Amino acid sequence: MGKKKLYAHHIDSSWCKGCGICVAFCPKQVLELDKNQKAIAARPEDCICCRQCELRCPDLAIEVICSKTEVSNE
């Protein structure tokens, strides 16, 4: 099965206010808050590129960079 390939999560920690919304609603539990209450991608390999975290962040602090199309997993 093909899926979109994740290249990176760009998280701007100077904009993140640690509300935890991205962490709570990620369907794959990819994200966590670190000890400074800033979002980090703890398990990027599980990300399915749904971009819900990017869209739900009230602080525009996350950008999910993915392939435009589905690519097959080697």
Partner 1 sequence: MAVKDYIRERFFPHMWCAGCGHGIILNALLHSVDDLGLNKKDMVMVSGIGCSARISGYVDFHSMHTLHGRALAFATGIKMSKPDLNVIVPMGDGDALAIGGNHFIHAARRNIEMTAIVMNNRIYGMTGGQFSPLSGYGAMGTTAPYGNIDHDFDVVDLAVAAGATFVARTTTYHVHELSDLIQQAITHKGFSVLEVLSQCPTHFGRRNKAGDAVDMLKMYKKRTVRIGSDKKKADPDLIERGVFVKKDFPEYCREYDQLILKARKKK
CA dist 17 and 37 (Å) reads 7
Using the rule CB under 8 A, is 11 a contact of partner 1? no
Q: Does 38 bind partner 1 (CB under 8 A)?
A: no
Is 20 an interacting residue with respect to partner 1 (CB under 8 A)? yes
Question: What is the C-alpha separation between 21 and 17, in angstroms, rounded?
Answer: 10
Which is nearer to partner 1, 19 or 40 (by Cβ)? Answer: 19
Which of residues 59 and 74 has its CB atom nearest to partner 1 in the complex? 59
Q: In 18-68, where does DSSP find H-type helix?
A: 21-25, 52-56
Is residue 17 at the binding interface for partner 1, with CB under 8 A as the rule?
yes
